[in-house]
Amino acid sequence: MAAGEEALTSGEPMHIDSITLREVRMRLLHPFETSFGITEDRRIVIVEVRDGATTGYGEVTAAEGPFYSHETPETAWHVLSDFVIPRTVGRDFRCAADFASVVDGIRGHNMAKAGVETALWDLEAHQAGVPLWKLLGGQREEIDCGVSIGIQSSVDQLLEKIQTEVDAGYRRIKMKIKPGRDVEDVAAVRDAFPDMLLMADANSAYSLDDFELLKKLDGYDLMMIEQPLHWEDIVDHAALGRAIRTPICLDESIHSADDARKAIQVGACRIVNLKLGRVGGHRSARAVHDICRERGVPVWCGGMLESGIGRAHNVAMSSLDNFTLPGDVSASKRYWEEDLIVPEVEVAPDGRIGMPTGSGIGFRPRVDFIDAITHRHRLFAP
């Protein structure tokens, strides 16, 4: 039985009276650079599902361009409006986990689907009167937090940025790398922070032709190198994994529990990054988590520059017991002048986030603020 299926089976089903899509636009406090490019402004699709007086919120985590994924806010709006929501609104759901069977015939577009699916989980948890993390089967009452550092204009700026995050208590640093900004940057960071948990994220920027360069990273005691090769590949990752000492973590290659099973089976990774949007929501994320746990492969929560709504869902997901490595679940104030939720997500001085105690995601959406920054919206009702 999938996570959460027992929660409402003995009660009233959820009847989806309406679904509202909103696209909000938010500027990051600081530009964020990866091997894909630089992000300054986020277009975020927020999904609101309603059953009577009870509302659940989800977020589409697609980036603005088709670089991390084929999905964008524009494609998500289209797929949600024309395919996903017409199959969902007006329907009764025994529990949020049943949503998968409604949209299984729609190929791909996991981030679009996850926007609705996560909102249904929030709704179900509110109706059950329990925190979402408990409904998901979470065991951790607090989680260790890491932080992702984009490519900086200079090594000095990179070291300064990392020092700020270390001083804030974060327990792991992930630094983005790309050709020309890799080994020397990693060496400088390791020299300045010899004992820090450090990982490098390549976002598919390399190939097996770069073997000798990637091999050099073995000298810097990295926790992992994330997705160094092609985003659809597991064969070359397996070959690389046999040749280097640094553990390989897969991100873009893993879209389902079956992907995780195959990647682990061929030796393509020793760690998996779990992102709710990439795998299609909480039900699929739990399935990936369980496959990895059964095979002794740890998982951690990756970030997609989410607003507080998506961040709150990440917090809940990270309470599952195989999230044994610090995730990219950092404080709202690192990204936004104002976030979409109250209270904002905060990280304690010891680098941890405690699980919320309220029902649902445990944070209240700032409806007036969301309305004020909405660039388009659409209401769907039967």
Annotated catalytic residues are 176, 275
What is the rounded CA–CA span in Å between residue 243 and residue 214?
Answer: 10
Number of neighbours of residue 10 by Cβ within 10 angstroms: 6
Phi, psi of 58 (to 5 degrees): -135, 170
What is the rounded CA–CA span in Å between residue 274 and residue 324?
Answer: 12
> Which residues of the chain form beta strands (DSSP E)?
14-15, 18-34, 37-51, 54-60, 92-93, 142-144, 147-149, 173-176, 198-201, 225-226, 248-250, 271-274, 299-301, 341-342, 352-354, 364-365, 374-380
User: How far, CA to CA in Å, does 279 sit from each of 92, 285, 380?
Assistant: 24, 6, 25
